[in-house]
Amino acid sequence: MKMQINGKAVESYSGEFFYIINPATGELIDQVPKGTEYDVEIAVEAASSAFNCWASTSPQQRARILYTAAGIVRQRKDELAILLTREQGKPFAESKNEIEGFANVLEYYCGLASSFHGDFIPVPQNGYSFTIKKPLGVCAAIIPWNMPALIMAWKISPALITGNTLVLKPASNTPLTNLTLASILSEAGLPPGVINIVTGPGEVVGESLVKSPQVKKISFTGEARTGKRVAELAAGGMKRVTLELGGSDPMIVCDDANLETAVSGALRGRFYNCGQTCTAVKRLFVFESVAEGFIKKLEASIRNLKVGNGLHENIDMGPLNNCRQWEYIKELVADVEEKDEGRIVAGGRVPEGSAYSRGYFFEPTLVVDVQRESRLLKEEVFGPVLPVVQVKNLEEAIEEANNTCYGLGASIWTKNIDRVRTGCEQLNAGIIWINQHLKVAPEVPFGGAGESGIGKENGPDALSEYLDLKALMLKI
C-alpha cells in the first residue's frame, strides 16, 4: 500500500519501503513507503491548505461524512478484521470488535456535532462576555501497533468533528488497516488533505511531525519513554499535547470476591490481544485467605487457552506482534527463572510444533509467589505473562498497587461497598473498574495519571483537547 497525502496514494521521496510481516506465519503481507522529513512537510502542507475550508463546514456536515464512513466500515467489517489480524496477530473475533469499536467511536462523536459552542457569561457593571471555540488547525496523531484501528478512531473522531485537519503516523508494523480506513473516509466524502497518512520510522516521521511549525497539537499513544521525547520536542513550539502512555494495571481480588468471575476477568484482562493492551492486568494481588483456590482455578483456565494463528477457528490468543516484543517476553521469563523470583505454574515457553515455528508465539504464562524486586512487577510487561502476589488485606494491596510510576487503570473485585469506596479513593489510576477490567466505551473518558500520560480521550471532554477557547468582553 502507499501513503495517503492530499487524497492521493503516493510513494515516499526516499523510494524505500518497510515490509509488513504476518506475526503468526512470518509471511510478507505487503510493503509501505519509508517516509522522510520531506514527505511529512508535504503532508502537513496538504493538511494546512485543507484547514480553512474544512473548519468552515458546519459540524453537522462533517458528521454526515463521518457517519457515512462508519457505515462503510461496518459493511466491510470482516475484510478489515482479516487485514487487522494478518498485520497485528490478534484473533479474528478481537479484530472484529476493534473494527466495530472504530465505527462506534466515529458515530459517538457525530452525535456530539451540535454540542461544542461558546457561552454567554454575564459579568458585573453592564458588561457582556462570550466565549467562542475554534479548531486548532493541523493536528498530528501518532499511534502504536497494539490497537491501531481503535486508537485511530480515538484521535481522528474528536479532531475532525471539531474542524481540525490531520496528519497521522501509524506504527511501522501495522499501517495497513489505518491506510484502508483512511481511504474509506475519503470514499465517504472527506475532502482531500483533511486526513493524511505518512508511514515510516518514528524517529524520522514522528519527530518531524512533532517539530513541524504548522502542527498545533500532537496526540500521541505509545510507550512512556517515547511520550517523554514527544513532550520534550513539543515544548519547543509550546504545542498542545495529549499523551496516552503505558500502564502497569493492578487487579485486586478480595476475600469476598466471586472467584469464578474474577478468574474470567483475569484471563480476559491479561491475555486479550496477547497481553498487549495498555490497560491489561499486569499485576494481580489476591488476598492470602483465598489465594490457593483462586490460583488453582486460574491455572486450569490458563492451560485451556488455545494459542494459534488468529485466523484459525476457536483461537483464544494469537502471537505477539513483533520480534522485539517476543524477545523481550522470553528474556523476562528466563530472568524470573534464573533469579528464582517467582514460580511458573503455567506456560513459560515458546510452544512447540511446526505451526509455531515462524510466528512470535508464547504460551500464556502464570507466575506465582513473585518477589517484590522482580522485573515482572517493576516494568510494563506487554505480553502474556501474569504475575500474582499474595497480600494480607486491602491496605497492603493498595500500597503495592500504587507502588509504580504508572497510573492508567486498576480494578478491585469485591462485594463490599466500603472496599469499593476505599479502592476508588486511594488507587492511583485514571480509570477504576469494579468487578471487571479492561472495558472501555466511547462515552467514558480514558487517560492516565503519573507516567501514564496527560489529557483524556473518549467522552465529551476529549473535544476540548482539539478546540481553542477564546473569551470576548464587551462594554456597550
The helix/strand/coil state of 175 is coil
Is residue 272 a contact point for ligand NAD (CB under 6 A)? no
The helix/strand/coil state of 150 is helix
Number of residues that bind ligand NAD (CB under 6 A): 32
The one-letter amino acid at 76: R
Q: Which of the following is catalytic: 45, 274, 278, 451?
A: 278
How far apart are alpha carbons 387 and 220 in whole angstroms?
Answer: 29
Instruction: Determine whether 405 is an active site residue.
Output: no
How far apart are alpha carbons 460 and 424 in whole angstroms?
Answer: 22
Is residue 244 a contact point for ligand NAD (CB under 6 A)? yes
Q: Which is nearer to ligand NAD, 273 or 390 (CB)?
A: 273
User: Looking only at residues 380 through 399 of this chain, which bind ligand NAD when binding is defined by CB under 6 A?
Assistant: 380, 382
Is residue 203 a contact point for ligand NAD (CB under 6 A)? yes
Is residue 249 a contact point for ligand NAD (CB under 6 A)? no
Q: How far is the CB of 254 from ligand NAD (least distance, A)?
A: 26
Task: Kindly tell me which residue out of 171, 182, 253, 257 binds ligand NAD, with binding defined by CB under 6 A.
Answer: 171
How far apart are alpha carbons 292 and 319 in whole angstroms?
Answer: 30
Radius of gyration of the chain (CA): 23
Is residue 102 a contact point for ligand NAD (CB under 6 A)? no
> Measuring CA to CA, which residue among 252, 190, 243 is closest to residue 66?
190
> Where in 296-368 does DSSP place strands (E)?
343-346, 365-368
Q: Which is nearer to ligand NAD, 315 or 320 (CB)?
A: 320
Is residue 408 a contact point for ligand NAD (CB under 6 A)? yes
Task: Kindly tell me which residue out of 36, 68, 104, 172 binds ligand NAD, with binding defined by CB under 6 A.
Answer: 172
The helix/strand/coil state of 14 is coil
How far apart are alpha carbons 249 and 427 in whole angstroms?
Answer: 10
Q: Which of the following is catalytic: 244, 380, 457, 465?
A: 244
Is residue 455 a contact point for ligand NAD (CB under 6 A)? no
- Output the nine-digit C-alpha cell for 78: 470482516
How far apart are alpha carbons 442 and 210 in whole angstroms?
Answer: 26
Task: Kindly tell me which residue out of 23, 59, 158, 247 binds ligand NAD, with binding defined by CB under 6 A.
Answer: 247
Task: Kindly tell me which residue out of 21, 188, 230, 266 binds ligand NAD, with binding defined by CB under 6 A.
Answer: 230
> Measuring CA to CA, which residue among 202, 244, 233 is closest to residue 406?
244
User: Looking only at residues 116 through 145 of this chain, which bind ligand NAD when binding is defined by CB under 6 A?
Assistant: 142-145
Is residue 248 a contact point for ligand NAD (CB under 6 A)? no
- Which residues fall within 8 angstroms of residue 385, CB to CB, at 6 or more apart? 275, 329, 332, 333, 347, 365, 367, 376
Q: Tell me which residues touch ligand NAD (CB under 6 A).
A: 142-147, 151, 169, 171-172, 202-203, 206-207, 210, 221-223, 226, 229-230, 244-247, 278, 380, 382, 408, 448, 452-453
Kindly list the catalytic residues: 244, 278
